[in-house]
Structure 1
Amino acid sequence: MDQAPRAGQGRPGGDPLPDSGEYAGYWLREIVKPNLAPGSYVTYEVVVRLYLVPGLGRKRLDKLRVSDVQTWINEVGRTCQCCAQGKDERRNPAQRRCCALGRCCPRQPASRTCGPCSGRCCPRRSPKG
């Protein structure tokens, strides 16, 4: 059975546990990649990179609470991801069309991004009108 990194195992300074971002990297490398389909790995890697690490990545695992995760889920569901991820900002200046120009789109993640919860945990959004 695979085990997560433990206190002092190859970690400078002997930190008690990795932070959420470090653990997510370990989980992707050691659990997901060797045991799941390549498409699953790609999907999980995107979610970890775009949502989990920016939102919870610095939180130490021994300090992470259910309320932290629920607050993060709610925040992702109501945050414009174009703004949060700098999507419009990375476009060629002549092609910028929304957030980088001060006109928030607001692009929120699709309910399916929540995966197994099927959007039940994310705030409901009204249809665009």
Structure 2
Amino acid sequence: MKYSYTWEEVEDAVNALSVALQKKGFTCIAAIGRGGCIPAALVAHKLGINVVDYVNYNRDYGFDGDSLTGRHQFEDVLFIDDATETGGTMEFIKARYGNPARVAVLFCAADNQINRPDFVGLEYLGDCPKMPWEVKKQK
């Protein structure tokens, strides 16, 4: 059975990220949808950042738009996702938005050394655990 994170573990990861991000100068958070939506809101509240945009990207379906075009210098935008396993999303963000783009995740595979996010809340071993907000699909 796949491990599921608790809300307490999510809060621990948000707190760890917030400490690392506190004085980095980000003025906008971009949630990498859909997994990054809840983490982006939690970190934005913690850091007092009022602008939350989105990037709609999924490793299975690819890029499907964003709300960033022409709105921000990407140096001040923090892209947030829930977790990373392979680093594919990180690679996509860096390729699309350039080198100044910075990526944070709540949870990162400890053995992921390629395309690693710039900021990590906590690391995990083994398969990527389920998040507490992941619910069963309604039929």
TM-score band by shorter chain is under 0.3
TM-score, normalised relative to structure 2: 0.26
TM-score, normalised relative to structure 1: 0.27
Give the greater-gyration-radius structure (CA): 1
**Higher strand fraction (1 or 2):** 2
